[in-house]
Amino acid sequence: MTRAGAGPPARDATCDLTYLNGDGVLDPGRLNPLVRLEQLLLAFARQRGINPAEETMSNFQRSSSRRLFGALLSLLTAAAVAMPAAAAPAAKAAAPAVLSSTAPKPSAQVLQAAAKEKAGCTEKCHAPIKVFHDEGKHKTLACSSCHDKLAEHSANEKVRPVTKTDPAVCGDCHRPQFDTLYKMNWEKTARKEKSLATGPSPNPAFDKLMMPHGFTREHAEPRSHAFALYDQVVVDRAFGGRFKNKSGWEFLTKDGGNIKIWDHLVDQYTGQDHKAFKPGTAAAANPVCMSCKSADHILDWAYLGDPVPGAKWSRTSKVVDFVKDVNHSLNCFFCHDPHTAGPRIVRDGLLQAVSRPEKDTVWHADKKGAQIDIRELGTRGFTRKIGLLSRPDSKLMCAQCHVEYNCNPGTDPSTGQPVTMADPRTNHFPFKKVADLGKHYNDLKFRDFKHGITGAMLWKGQHPDSENYYGSVHQKAGADCADCHMPKMKDAKTGKVFTSHWQTSPRHYVKETCLTCHDNWTAQQATYAIDSMKNRFQGKLRKAEFWLTRMIDKFEEAKNIGVDEPVLAQVREKHYEAHINWEWWTASNGAHFHNLDEAVDSLNRSMVISQDGIKLLDDAMAARRSAARTASATAVPASR
């Protein structure tokens, strides 16, 4: 992908090695257990006359005369796993240190050891990674910073190294970003359904318009990113009530944080198939829909989730087994390449969308967007892809999840045949505007569900926030998602400026967002404008719902009095189009601010289409009643 764009920005100077004292000398008190293990092994090597500066551990471990080191490392690793984190002196056991830009740099010996370790990995097998490291900001980090079992892997290729997917690994250096990513938003309460009276789509309209789709079981508003994976697992529509929190509702008092879901959840139906266990629930979860909540599985997932040899997980995997293999919400490496430290995208459906030969996405129309360099990575025997960005472009990075995408089985409307998870259409990003969506899914030959009253084959939206923002007033002015949701903040402890990763509403930091451009406003004026825009949006949404439900009621009436099928079929097509121009906006987050003008136009379009459908039905019913009256008036009385 080539597109004019700026180069990558300078990163925060916070990712340096933290185990040196003020004189740049190794301080054992600052080492975590595995780093201490490495130092023990190095000391053991020196006693045997081996100079680590000249010979890497991977090299001397392969030497037949020094096989002892392999066994030693295995034993010490097993011991280190059980070693408590508090093994260091108590004074040193506080929160991990984060070096400022004035902190001492790693010694030449430490840097040389890291370089030797990387050379041992990249020269033999992982050549593509060497390119990433050589040009990246993480080039001073050893492979063992993010991978375990390297020595065993070097000695035996069949022993795979373990990649650390826990975001806390990044948080050791990028502490302010890590802490803000998992900061609690107490204003966003749990289990708040969108169909509540105060929600984006209050009942009775929502359930009537979406029946019998699984989202009618529970469709909650999003809350803190810390709970993205957890909430997806416990929602009523996903696993049928299978999983339960060990501490019950008391868990709701947890103050955010880097939650490992299996520290808190228990399977109440171990060994049983994926199904609805409790009334009012559904078992609609699948591996694709889980993939925007966690990327713990990234190295075990082939491109598009294709079920290919060597890939542990795929679109067709048993979702209960799959979800038990992931633990962390929104890993840092969704958006940050761990080797280059540069911006990237990894969601395969998005990569496929931006590489379609039609060049028909909102990104293709964005002449100022970042370039995307799609790289194929197949070290494990199957195709994987990532997209390296020429600069941070949060419209793309956020579009990995805040986007409309198909992530479930459905129906081919042209044949009526089911589309199963074996079909790549079940991992698909249109990445288009609402006005283009109906045709796109017609061409794709896919529908999500059949409406319970009209029988229309309909679509179910998945938070198309990024598509909304493209072409908006703020996007045209040069603002990206991060400018409003991830502003630059000052660390109160260090005074350093960093990018907040709270990713919440700009209402929580109006000064750092709205007022940086609208410098003649007050915070009160900014929030007043936001709330007024929301009023306009919600008013139109309610009107679209009224006319759409009215059309459904009319359809039911018309069918009951025997209106001909050709008329009903025509109205079903109207239902599909009107539904898209309503559901798109109920599925969106912050649409009133992201692109109010587009929302109003689309919702008005939904109303007009619904009214056209109502007229078709009214005319057909009037004709049928007139014919019935005529037939009754001209009927010959029965002879006596």
pLDDT band at 324 (very low <50, low <70, confident <90, very high): very high
The pLDDT tens digits of the residues spanning 7-21 come to: 333 333 333 333 333
* CB 83 within 8 Å of CB 35: no
- The domain spans of the chain are 28-166
DSSP bridge pairs for 419: 410
Position 309 pLDDT exceeds 50: yes
Cis peptide before 279 (omega within 30 of 0): no
C-alpha–C-alpha distance, residues 394 and 213, integer Å: 31
DSSP bridge pairs for 567: none
Position 76 pLDDT exceeds 80: no
- Residue with structure tokens 């599925």? 587
Nearest C-alpha neighbor of 502 from the set 513, 494, 493: 513
Per-residue pLDDT, 153: 87
DSSP bridge pairs for 301: 313
Position 51 pLDDT exceeds 50: no
- Residue with structure tokens 């967002």? 513
Show the tokens assigned to 534. 């929301």
The rounded mean pLDDT for the chain is: 84
DSSP bridge pairs for 147: 163
The pLDDT tens digits of the residues spanning 539-585 come to: 999 999 999 999 999 999 999 999 999 999 999 999 999 999 999 99
The pLDDT tens digits of the residues spanning 327-380 come to: 999 999 999 999 999 999 999 999 999 999 999 999 999 999 999 999 998 778
Show the tokens assigned to 580. 């898209």
* CB 596 within 8 Å of CB 539: no
Position 210 pLDDT exceeds 50: yes
C-alpha–C-alpha distance, residues 211 and 404, integer Å: 20
Mean pLDDT over residues 222-243, rounded?
Answer: 94
Show the tokens assigned to 395. 């419209």
Show the tokens assigned to 177. 């970003």
Quote the pTM value: 0.81
Per-residue pLDDT, 525: 97
Nearest C-alpha neighbor of 429 from the set 518, 526, 355: 355
Position 125 pLDDT exceeds 90: no
Q: How many residues does the chain have?
A: 640
Per-residue pLDDT, 356: 96
Pairing of strands 384-389, 344-345: antiparallel
